[in-house]
Each structure stands twice: as structure tokens, then as C-alpha cells.
């Protein structure tokens, strides 16, 4: 069954253990998605079957973890 992934969806790649969160820039023939990293400066493409849509709650948790990492790093620098 093909998933419906569309431009503007927030996704992650399963094959990379969802290490980077992307926004979908373009979908080609409902098979390939062109992606731009949200928290990492990265462009990529991916087969639709490898993508998983990320919920708003998951996005919030990801940003919270990023903020915590930044706080740890800045506290070490002081």
C-alpha cells in the first residue's frame, strides 16, 4: 500500500533510524520525495516507502531534546 506523502509534510527516513527530520519539498510520481532537513542543513531524496510522517508531538519532543543539548553545551563553555 502506498502512503500519501505530500509537499509540506514533516517526515523522517526509517532506514536512517529517523535521525534527521525533513520537510517534503516535492513528490515525484508518488514514489520519490525531495527533502530538506529542518534541524540539519541537508537536502536528500527518499523513496516514499522509507518515510514516516512525524506528529506534532514528536516534533515538539525533538526540539525539546535539541534545546537541552544546546543548554548542556553552553553550560560547559561557561
Q: Distance (Å, rounded) from C-alpha 56 to C-alpha 75? A: 29
End-to-end Cα spacing for the chain: 52
Task: Summarize pLDDT for 27-61 with one digit per residue, the tens.
Answer: 999 999 999 999 889 999 999 999 999 998 988 88
Helix (H, G, I), strand (E, B) or coil at 44: strand
The pTM of the full predicted model, rounded to 2 decimals, is: 0.77
Helix (H, G, I), strand (E, B) or coil at 48: helix
Taking residues 1-24, what's their average pLDDT?
A: 89
Backbone angles phi, psi at 4, to 5 degrees: -95, 100
Amino acid at each position: 500500500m502506498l502512503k500519501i506523502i505530500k509537499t509540506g509534510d514533516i517526515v523522517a527516513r526509517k532506514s536512517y533510524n529517523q535521525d534527521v527530520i525533513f520537510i517534503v519539498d516535492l513528490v515525484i510520481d508518488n514514489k520519490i520525495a525531495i527533502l530538506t532537513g529542518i534541524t540539519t542543513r541537508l537536502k536528500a531524496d527518499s523513496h516514499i516507502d522509507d518515510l514516516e510522517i512525524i506528529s506534532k508531538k514528536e516534533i515538539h519532543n525533538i526540539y525539546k531534546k535539541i534545546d537541552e543539548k544546546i543548554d548542556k553545551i553552553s553550560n560547559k563553555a561557561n
